[in-house]
Chain A
Amino acid sequence: MTAVEVSFSYLDACLGVLVAWGAIGVAGLIRPRSVEFAGRTLFPLGAVCGVMLTVVAIASIAAPTERAVLPVGLPDLPFHIRRDALSAVFLALLGGASAGISVFSAGYFRKGEGALPGLLCLEYHVFLAAMGLVLIADDAYAFMVAWETMALASYFLVTTQHRIAEIRSAGFLYLLIAHVGAIGILLSFGVMQGGSWQFTFDAMRSAHIAPEWASAAFCLALFGFGAKAGLVPLHVWLPEAHPAAPSPVSALMSGVMLKTAVYGLLRVSFDLLHGVQWWWGLLALAFGLGSAFYGVIFAAVQTDMKRLLAWSSIENLGIVFTGIGLTLVFQGCDMSALAALALIATLYHALNHAFMKSVLFLGTGSVLHATGQRNLGRLGGLIHRMPWVTWLTLVGVLAIAGLPPLNGFVSEWLLLQAFLFAGEVPQAFVNMLLPVGAAVVALCTALAGYVMVKFFGVIFLGQPREASLAGAHDAGVMERIGLLWLAGACIALGLLPVQVVHLLGSVVQELLHVGPGDWGVDGWLLAPPAARHASYGPLALFAVTVAVVVLGAVGVRVWFGRRARRGPAWDCGFVRLDSRMQDTAEGFGQPIRHMFEPFFSMQRELPTPFDALPRYRVTVGDRIWGLVYAPLGAVVRGTAEFAARLQQGRIATYLLYSFVTLVVLLALVL
């Protein structure tokens, strides 16, 4: 590449945005009680910063790597930062998703809900800035500081309504697992420095470590980042923390924060470690597929809308990790072209999930504000009351269900394409197993469609299940703009895959040292890895779909227009149809609950024939809690109680401890 005179560095611009976020956060403390100040001024400013970050990051994806050393940190241990293609893609994701979420937040936060608006503004923008710093950190020290700041800021955001005991315990669980994960990451960095005791990423890149130690580093990183991403069995915090947090925070955590884990694992496995071994990929693939499957069947049986979305996040992160696993398998077998395909699918899905999950979480936020209900059993029929939210959420729902021409389809299709070449893997055992993985991905995608039909249908379609829903109001202007931005991104990512893949190509070039080749046919047809295999032209598909719908509508109107009339829905001759006869969330999930019964721990309360007011209740629990966490907790508690025997409560005993210690130490000196 020829040297180009750049008047400003992209890295400086990114850093400027992060500093601006920090400043906006601190500015929230000027008038901490004013919703107007935080909402009408600061959050929109934060959104502007987000848009700027997106623009800078997209412009810089193909630019050469930049580095800098910041004058902050400990003496002799300054923060190193670096922007390369991988960072840029995730910075674009952060900026793009956060812009929409910030605008939405500007209209979302109300007076008297938990923490002060100014504090919320501070935590929110520190959270954003910390995530940005994670993405540009270039030494383990800066990375860990940013990582922990991110965890802490999000913990405070989750526990905004800290007066509710359940929310406090959800926050604690989140913080606990975040820290356990951080220990894994820290140990992984410790292994990767390879005896040089230099903790810059450059030192780790050039360190020569034995293959078994590299494997150890990878496993630790998979554990640490898996805890943040919510891989089964480290997922337990997700379904607790997401419903506890305010909706924009859930959107930010699910859409953006989980992606920092993806970034971290990609950074460690392709950039910092070399000599990828194919069985690493198998490990990531197993955990990814397990999470995807486990997440989607649990999502299908949830009755709380935010909990449903949290389980869906577990599923989607599982798919992303499946992509990472597949990339590692191909890379470990020296099949760079296929590794490039899998990596692009991974990055694409990470990008997609950021936008579509944000739309859905923000949609639930609007519903929650309008109705005060999170329980699917008390919602329904909101399409007439909240048309904006309904239609924009529909875009997200279709996207996450993987329907063309939206973005979810593109990434899942690319991933399945990558799976189709698994037969070429030279390891006999692996190429027998991989088709099973492809089948699991296909199953998960289908079930995700099922989950989304349930989510959308129960909330927005049918009749209102509660009388109070009649008073529901549509979202405000700011909230609509935020949702529009994110839904627009879903559509753009779906319609312009060739351009997006071209941008992602720089990352592939950087991490795998191969170009992905030119997959675009005439700029509009996506054909990986070659046109003779398969190709996809979303714009043509979109045009045909629109044409068919429009022609159909026009045709019906022309031919039957005079005879058309609006009448009541056919009630099969039963005249007293009411909202209780609709399919419920429980009812919708029942087939899944029945089919995958061994995975759930269920408690049923069945009515007896003599009940005057018969009630049927079923609670679905997570078996992993009982299998892993409860015994672990019991061991910890047991150890603590054993240690508590030291606490006798008698001053004489405590004095005796000091005395014995003194005498023993003196005797040692003697």
Chain B
Amino acid sequence: MAPLSFDLQLLNGCAALLLLLSFSMLSQRRIVNLVNLLALQGALLCAATLLVAVRTGQGHLYLSAVLTLALKVVGLPLLLHRLIRRLNVYWDAEPVINASGTMLIGLLIVVFAFGLAQPISALASTATRSTLGIAIAVILLAFLTMITRRKAMSQVVAFLSMENGLFFGAMSATYGMPMVVELGVALDVLVAMLVLGVFFFQIREQFDSLDLHHLESLKETE
């Protein structure tokens, strides 16, 4: 097997760090830290995008790197921090499944994701195809984070992290989505964030808490 070139090794390093960050998000209970981890994930994503842009010389990837930087590293984390201060939620409640159990399930998911990615990356022609498994793992881990959290705030952070995973997956499989789609997704995420921000206030207004188990009483049957 031929030795990988330096930039590809760097890229693989970024991917590994992204996966590590996903795991730390899975176990992190302080919401402020969760947001910081999200920002860090965004920064890594930005770096990875730049690396791919330099390697392939695709102009639009520079633009999406800038977009990632502006939105995921600066914009959304700032917005989230402000929400945290105003809503005064710093800690999530005890997760549904305890941390070590969640980690074990996460491991299984990573194995599953790599198995899943194998046939796909065999088909892909990009140099970055080896990181596809990590991208899928990031998506599924973020999903798992959403399932195990109780506070609406941490679920939203996990949701944004899932979006990061999708972005990374698109980049490793096909060098990124078309620019129009990327812009659209970025706008969607921003709008979703704003809408959810409004929801947070509404939920807190109704239940004096952001804990979602209060919403369980809203079902129709007893």
Contact = CB atoms under 8 A, between A and B. Distances in A.
Contact of B148 (A641, A647, A649, A652): A652
B154 to A, nearest CB: 12
A644 B220 CA distance: 8
Given A663-B112, A670-B119, A651 B221 contact: no
A649 B147 contact: no
A666 B116 CA distance: 7
A647 B119 contact: no
B147 A670 contact: no
Interface centre among B140, B147, B215, B220, by most chain A C-beta atoms within 10 angstroms, is B147
Given A647-B221, A652-B148, A670-B115, A659 B143 contact: yes
Contacts of B212: 650-652
Interface string B107-123: 00000100110010000
A524 to B, nearest CB: 69
Given A641-B221, A670-B119, A649 B143 contact: no
A649 B155 contact: no
A652 B216 CA distance: 10
A647 B144 contact: no
Contacts of A639: none
Interface in A648-670: 648-652, 655-656, 658-659, 662-663, 666-667, 669-670
A651 B212 CA distance: 7
Nearest to B95: A652
Nearest to B146: A655
Contacts of B149: 652
B96 interface: yes
A650 to B, nearest CB: 5
A648 B219 CA distance: 7
B85 interface: no
A669 B221 CA distance: 36
A337 B119 CA distance: 76
Contacts of B155: 651
Choose among B144, B149, B155, B216 the residue with the greatest number of A CB atoms under 10 Å from its CB: B216
A669 B150 CA distance: 32
Contacts, number: 48
A641 B112 CA distance: 35
Interface string B151-173: 00001000000000000000000
Contact of A649 (B112, B115, B219): B219
Nearest to A670: B116
Nearest to B144: A659
B121 to A, nearest CB: 13
B217 interface: yes
B105 to A, nearest CB: 11
Given A663-B112, A666-B116, A670-B119, A652 B147 contact: yes
A655 B140 contact: no
Nearest to B118: A670
A200 B211 CA distance: 60
Given A641-B221, A663-B140, A650 B116 contact: no
A436 B119 CA distance: 76
Given A670-B115, A670-B116, A670-B119, A659 B221 contact: no
A292 B36 CA distance: 79
Contact of B220 (A647, A663, A669): A647
A647 B219 contact: yes
A647 B220 CA distance: 8
A648 B119 CA distance: 37
Contacts of A669: 116
A251 B221 CA distance: 42
A603 to B, nearest CB: 31
Contacts of B219: 647-649
A652 to B, nearest CB: 5
B96 A652 contact: yes
A215 B140 CA distance: 55
Nearest to B119: A670
B147 A656 contact: yes
Contacts of B143: 655, 658-659, 662
Nearest to B158: A655
Interface in B203-222: 212-213, 215-221
A651 B203 CA distance: 14
B100 to A, nearest CB: 18
Nearest to A645: B221
A650 B216 contact: yes
Contacts of B146: 652, 655
A222 to B, nearest CB: 38
Contacts of A651: 155, 212, 215
A461 to B, nearest CB: 54
Contacts of A641: 221
A649 B212 CA distance: 10
A659 B115 CA distance: 17
Nearest to A640: B221
Contacts of A649: 215-219
A666 B132 CA distance: 14
Given A659-B143, A663-B140, A648 B220 contact: no
A593 B155 CA distance: 67
A261 B95 CA distance: 62
Contacts of A656: 147
B118 to A, nearest CB: 9
Nearest to A654: B147
A198 to B, nearest CB: 44
A644 B155 CA distance: 25
Interface in B165-184: none
Contacts of B215: 649-651
B147 A659 contact: yes
A662 to B, nearest CB: 7
Contacts of A663: 112, 140
A616 to B, nearest CB: 42
A655 to B, nearest CB: 5
Interface in B16-75: none
A649 B115 CA distance: 33
Given A663-B112, A666-B116, A670-B115, A648 B216 contact: yes
A659 B96 CA distance: 16
Nearest to B212: A651
Contacts of A659: 140, 143-144, 147
B101 to A, nearest CB: 14
A411 B216 CA distance: 65
B213 A650 contact: yes
A659 B220 CA distance: 23
Contacts of B144: 659
A498 B219 CA distance: 67
A651 B155 CA distance: 10
Nearest to B109: A663
Contacts of B213: 650
Contacts of A644: 220-221
Contacts of A666: 112, 116
A664 to B, nearest CB: 11
Contacts of A648: 216, 219
A651 B196 CA distance: 15
B107 to A, nearest CB: 15
B115 A655 contact: no
A669 B140 CA distance: 16
The 8 closest A-B pairs by CB, nearest first: A649-B219, A649-B216, A644-B221, A655-B147, A647-B219, A651-B212, A652-B147, A659-B143
9 contacts: A641-B221, A647-B219, A648-B216, A649-B215, A649-B218, A652-B146, A655-B147, A658-B143, A669-B116
Given A652-B96, A655-B143, A659-B144, 18 more contacts: A647-B220, A649-B216, A649-B217, A649-B218, A649-B219, A650-B213, A650-B215, A651-B215, A652-B146, A652-B150, A652-B212, A655-B147, A662-B140, A663-B112, A666-B116, A667-B116, A669-B116, A670-B116
Interface of A: 641, 644, 647-652, 655-656, 658-659, 662-663, 666-667, 669-670
